[in-house]
Amino acid sequence: MSDKVNFGDELVSPEEKTRRVGEVFSSVARRYDVMNDLMSGGMHRLWKDRFVNRVKPRPGEEILDMAGGTGDVAFRMAQRGARVTVADINADMLAVGEQRAGRRGLEGLTWKVENAEALSFAEASFSAYTIVFGVRNVTDISAALGEAYRVLKRGGRFCCMEFSSSDWPGFSNLYDAWASNVIPRIGKAVADDEESYRYLVESIRRFPRPNAFTAMVADAGFVRAAAEPMLGGLVTIYSGWKI
């Protein structure tokens, strides 16, 4: 890849984007969980519950939780008996996750540093691939979707949750004001890091619209690619199947 890509609202080289996304998550790792609660008013917990209900993890099945960060989604799936590999490009996020898993006495999780664009796993390794609030941070999204397809078994499911802009007129204005003005300030007050939270908001605005992302999922080879919007499209669950 040689063309410029967006890092938030800035245009940078692909290599610089990957490096700077790494810096963002290393910077926010220790405060990531408390910031999630503050930024979403605790709603991210409900969204993740709903997401995992859609994934329907089964006891003993192998699931790859990509961009799994500090483990929120993986923990929910492991509690239902799935064997979950939490993979993320950022070792600092995974380290916080491992500590959290230890405090909760959760066992059976595998933690692995991986770039979603080029996975080290053999093809047909997993029954489900999940990626929550992660894909918008990946530099080459098509490469990541191709890798998701490769590592899934036949009959495996791709499940993704991501933010987008809401379609509800009044709500979308309110949300834009909250995201652009309030979230970076909370980031400054709580984590002394306004810039990282400004990037997170900008990256949401830059992420493809749900129909465009659904088309990318289908292009990667998944069948029955679909988008299920929640909250007027503020958060969308995407799914697809490898047959």
* Residue 203 engages ligand SAM in binding (rule: CB under 6 A): no
Q: How far is the CB of 243 from ligand SAM (least distance, A)?
A: 26
> What would the 3-class secondary structure string for the chain be?
CCCCEEECCEEECHHHHHHHHHHHHHHHHHHHHHHHHHHHCCHHHHHHHHHHHHHCCCCCCEEEEECCCCCHHHHHHHCCCCEEEEEECCHHHHHHHHHHHHHHCCCCCEEEECECCECCCCCCCEEEEEEECCHHHCCCHHHHHHHHHHHEEEEEEEEEEEECCCCCHHHHHHHHHHHHHHHHHHHHHHHCCHHHHHHHHHHHHHCCCHHHHHHHHHHCCCEEEEEEEEHHHCEEEEEEECC
* Residue 159 engages ligand SAM in binding (rule: CB under 6 A): no
Q: How far is the CB of 192 from ligand SAM (least distance, A)?
A: 19
Q: How far is the CB of 119 from ligand SAM (least distance, A)?
A: 9
Q: How far is the CB of 224 from ligand SAM (least distance, A)?
A: 23
* Residue 151 engages ligand SAM in binding (rule: CB under 6 A): no
Query: Among 8, 57, 69, 156, which residue sits at the site for ligand SAM (rule: CB under 6 A)?
Result: 69
Among 115-123, 181-189, 203-211, 220-228, which window interacts with ligand SAM (CB under 6 A)?
115-123
Among 5-13, 134-142, 163-171, 179-187, which window interacts with ligand SAM (CB under 6 A)?
134-142
* Residue 115 engages ligand SAM in binding (rule: CB under 6 A): yes
Q: Which is nearer to ligand SAM, 120 or 173 (CB)?
A: 120
Task: Give residues in contact with ligand SAM (CB under 6 A).
Answer: 21, 25, 67-69, 72-73, 88-90, 93, 115-117, 132-134, 137-138
